[in-house]
C-alpha cells in the first residue's frame, strides 16, 4: 500500500470517505458518505471531488447510514461503472436511504440537487453483494468483510495488498456489543494499519436498564393518561424500541391494549428490511417464534392522513416517529400538538446534535418554534443515554487491542476532542489524526 487520502469524517463524524492507493497504483474507495450538520459542513457536499471516479478499481461500503453512503451517486455521475461491494442488508438500506435523499434534495430550493433518482438507479445496478468472512479477489488485493455489530449488515473491511503483503483495516462504525438485534462485533485478528472510528472515543456509556426505563415511561402515561412521544431514528433505533416493547407487553409489564403508533414511513420500510434478513439477527432474536417487531396494540401509519388522525386516538398512547433529533419528519407535527400539555412525556433515545429542536428541549427550553409559531414546552422530558449503536471508549480500545501487529492507527469519525482523548490511550503504535483533504503515506 502506498498512500491514503481522507475525504471526510476526519475532524467530524459525517462524510466518511477514504481513498486507498495500493502498491500497484490502483485506487479503491471506502465509503462515500454525506456531510451532515451545520451549513459550513453540509456545503462540503457541493465541493469538487478530489479524485476522478472513473479511475477507481473498486468501491467498498461499510454500512447503510447516510453519512457513509449518501454521496455514492456522485461516483456514477463522475464516470464510475465498476462494482460497489457491500453486504445484503446494506444494499437494501442503501436503496431506501438514497431514494429518500434524492427525494429530499429535489424539494430543497437552496441548492441544485446533488443527484437524482436516475443516478440512484445506476448505483443500484452496480452493487455486488458480499458475504461476511468470504475473501474477494480484485486486481492485486484480497478483501474480507467482517461483522461490525453496529447495525444490520454493518461491516469492518480488511484489505490485503499482495504487493507489499500488508493489511489495512477500516473499522466502519463499531457496535455497542452486545446489542439488542444484531450479532456481536467480530474482532479482527491481525493487520498492519488501522483506520478506526472514535465517535465515543472520549466517553463511556452509562449502565442503564433500558427496558425498565421504557417501561416506566409507558406505565407513567398508563396510570395518569397522556401521550409518550419518542423521537427515533428509522434504522435500528426504532426496531430496537419495538423489540423491547414487544417483550414488555408479552411479560405483562405494560398493558397489552396501550396503543403504540409507529409513525415514520422510512422506519416502516426499514422494519420490513429487518424482517427480510433474519439470518443477521443475534441468537436471542433468532430464537423468537413470533415477529419480534410486532405486538398487540401496534399501529402502523404509512400515509400522512393516517398520521394526522393519531390525535383522535384515545389516551394513553405512545408515538414513535422520526426524525430522531426532531430536525424534521412527523415528530414535528406531534410536538406541535402535544408539547404544551403537562400530561405529555417526551423520551429521547438517541444523540441530540447542537442546533436541533431535540437538543433545545433536552436542555430545558421553555418554548420552541414550529412552523413559525412559538410552542410552550410543558411536557416532562426524559433521556436514555446508553441506547447507542456505537462502541464506547472501552469497547473501541478492546477492539483495537485485539488486532495483532498494528503499527499505524488513523483515528476518524470523531471531533477533535474525541480523537485526541482516545489517541492518548493507544500505546506502542503511531497514531495519526488525519485532516480532511490530506494524503498520508503508508
Strands of 36-132, DSSP E = 56-60, 84-86, 127-129
pLDDT digits (tens, 9 = 90+) for 315-336: 999 999 988 999 889 999 999 9
209 CB burial (10 A radius; 0-12, 13-18, 19+): exposed
Cis peptide, bond prior to residue 323, ω within 30 of zero: yes
Q: Whose grid coordinates read 407535527?
A: 333
CA separation for the pair 127, 114 (Å, rounded) = 20
Q: How much is the pLDDT for 155? A: 98
Q: How much is the pLDDT for 192? A: 98
Question: What does the block give as the cell for 10?
Answer: 476526519
CATH of the domain at 73: 3.60.15.10
Per-residue pLDDT band for 133 (boundaries 50, 70, 90) equals very high
CA separation for the pair 419, 440 (Å, rounded) = 17
CA separation for the pair 22, 28 (Å, rounded) = 8
pLDDT digits (tens, 9 = 90+) for 11-22: 999 999 999 999
Element (H, E) at 3: strand 3-6
User: C-alpha dihedral over 10, 13, 17, 22, to 10 degrees?
Assistant: 50
pLDDT digits (tens, 9 = 90+) for 161-196: 999 999 999 999 999 999 999 999 999 999 999 999
Find, among 191, 193, 197, the residue nearest to 408 by Cα.
193
**Which domain range does residue 68 map to?**
3-203+389-441
Verify that 317 and 401 share a domain, yes or no: no
Q: Whose grid coordinates read 405483562?
A: 252
Verify that 197 and 222 share a domain, yes or no: no
CA separation for the pair 7, 163 (Å, rounded) = 25
80 CB burial (10 A radius; 0-12, 13-18, 19+): buried
Verify that 251 and 270 share a domain, yes or no: yes
CA separation for the pair 376, 344 (Å, rounded) = 12
CA separation for the pair 104, 117 (Å, rounded) = 11
Question: What does the block give as the cell for 253?
Answer: 409489564
Verify that 198 and 226 share a domain, yes or no: no
Contact (Cβ atoms closer than 8 angstroms) between residue 140 and residue 358? no
Per-residue pLDDT band for 303 (boundaries 50, 70, 90) equals very high
Verify that 20 and 138 share a domain, yes or no: yes
pLDDT digits (tens, 9 = 90+) for 21-70: 999 999 999 999 999 888 888 999 999 999 999 999 999 999 999 999 99
Residue 79: helix, strand or coil by DSSP? coil
Contact (Cβ atoms closer than 8 angstroms) between residue 71 and residue 98? no
Contact (Cβ atoms closer than 8 angstroms) between residue 319 and residue 227? yes
CA separation for the pair 386, 382 (Å, rounded) = 13
CA separation for the pair 151, 89 (Å, rounded) = 9
pLDDT of 147 higher than 80? yes
Verify that 282 and 353 share a domain, yes or no: yes
Pairing assessment for the beta strands 136-138 and 18-21 based on DSSP bridges: unpaired
Per-residue pLDDT band for 355 (boundaries 50, 70, 90) equals confident
pLDDT digits (tens, 9 = 90+) for 197-253: 999 999 999 999 999 999 999 999 999 999 999 999 999 999 999 999 999 999 999
Q: Structural domain tally of the chain? A: 2
Verify that 53 and 159 share a domain, yes or no: yes
- The last residue of one of the domains, among 356, 383, 410, is 383
The DSSP output letter for 179 is: -
- How far, in Å, are 150, 169, 182, 272 from residue 179 at the CA level? 8, 22, 6, 19
CA separation for the pair 333, 335 (Å, rounded) = 5
- The last residue of one of the domains, among 383, 398, 416, is 383
Verify that 342 and 400 share a domain, yes or no: no
Q: How much is the pLDDT for 116? A: 95
CATH of the domain at 313: 3.40.50.10890
Contact (Cβ atoms closer than 8 angstroms) between residue 132 and residue 186? yes
Verify that 25 and 132 share a domain, yes or no: yes
Question: What does the block give as the cell for 249?
Answer: 407487553
- The last residue of one of the domains, among 346, 364, 383, is 383
Question: What does the block give as the cell for 132?
Answer: 461476511
Verify that 220 and 336 share a domain, yes or no: yes
Verify that 153 and 43 share a domain, yes or no: yes
Verify that 18 and 65 share a domain, yes or no: yes
Q: What is the mean pLDDT of residues 102-120?
A: 91
Amino acid at each position: 500500500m502506498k498512500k491514503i487520502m481522507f475525504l471526510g469524517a476526519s475532524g467530524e463524524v459525517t462524510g466518511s470517505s477514504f481513498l486507498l492507493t495500493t502498491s500497484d497504483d490502483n485506487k479503491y474507495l471506502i465509503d462515500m458518505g454525506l456531510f451532515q450538520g451545520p451549513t459550513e459542513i453540509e456545503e462540503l457536499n457541493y465541493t469538487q471531488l478530489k479524485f476522478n471516479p472513473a479511475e477507481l478499481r473498486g468501491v467498498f461500503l461499510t454500512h447503510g447510514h447516510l453519512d457513509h453512503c449518501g454521496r455514492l451517486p456522485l461516483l456514477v455521475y463522475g464516470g464510475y461503472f465498476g462494482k460497489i461491494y457491500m453486504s445484503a442488508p446494506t444494499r437494501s438500506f442503501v436503496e431506501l436511504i438514497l431514494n429518500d435523499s434524492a427525494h429530499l434534495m429535489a424539494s430543497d430550493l437552496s441548492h441544485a440537487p446533488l443527484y437524482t433518482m436516475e443516478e440512484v438507479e445506476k448505483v443500484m445496478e452496480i452493487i455486488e453483494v458480499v458475504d461476511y468472512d468470504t475473501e474477494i479477489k480484485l486486481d492485486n488485493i484480497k478483501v474480507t468483510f467482517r461483522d461490525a455489530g453496529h447495525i444490520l449488515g454493518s461491516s469492518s473491511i480488511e484489505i490485503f495488498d499482495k504487493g507489499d503483503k500488508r493489511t489495512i483495516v477500516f473499522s466502519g462504525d463499531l457496535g455497542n456489543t452486545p446489542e439488542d438485534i444484531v450479532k456481536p462485533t467480530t474482532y479482527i485478528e491481525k493487520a498492519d494499519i488501522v483506520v478506526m472510528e472514535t465517535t465515543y472515543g472520549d466517553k463511556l456509556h452509562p449502565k442503564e436498564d433500558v427496558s425498565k426505563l421504557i417501561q416506566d415511561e409507558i406505565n407513567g402515561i398508563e396510570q395518569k393518561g397522556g401521550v409518550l412521544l419518542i423521537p427515533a431514528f428509522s434504522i435500528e433505533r426504532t426496531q430496537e424500541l419495538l423489540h423491547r416493547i414487544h417483550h414488555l407487553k408479552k411479560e405483562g409489564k405494560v398493558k397489552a391494549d396501550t396503543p403504540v403508533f409507529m409513525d415514520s414511513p422510512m422506519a416502516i420500510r426499514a422494519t420490513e428490511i429487518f424482517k427480510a434478513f433474519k439470518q443477521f439477527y443475534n441468537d436471542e432474536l433468532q430464537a423468537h417464534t413470533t415477529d419480534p417487531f410486532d405486538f398487540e396494540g401496534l399501529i402502523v401509519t404509512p400515509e400522512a392522513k393516517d398520521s394526522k388522525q393519531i390525535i383522535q386516538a384515545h389516551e394513553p398512547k405512545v408515538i414513535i416517529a422520526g426524525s430522531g433529533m426532531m430536525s424534521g419528519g412527523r415528530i414535528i407535527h406531534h410536538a406541535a400538538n402535544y408539547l404544551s400539555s403537562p400530561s405529555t412525556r417526551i423520551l429521547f433515545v438517541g444523540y441530540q446534535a447542537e442546533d436541533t429542536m431535540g437538543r433545545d428541549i433536552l436542555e430545558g427550553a421553555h418554548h420552541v418554534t414550529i412552523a413559525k409559531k412559538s410552542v410552550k414546552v410543558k411536557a416532562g422530558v426524559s433521556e436514555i443515554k446508553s441506547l447507542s449503536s456505537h462502541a464506547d471508549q472501552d469497547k473501541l480500545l478492546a477492539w483495537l487491542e485485539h488486532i495483532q501487529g498494528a503499527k499505524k492507527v488513523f483515528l476518524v469519525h470523531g471531533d477533535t476532542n474525541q480523537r485526541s482523548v482516545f489517541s492518548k490511550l493507544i500505546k506502542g503504535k503511531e497514531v495519526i489524526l488525519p485532516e480532511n483533504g490530506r494524503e498520508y503515506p503508508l
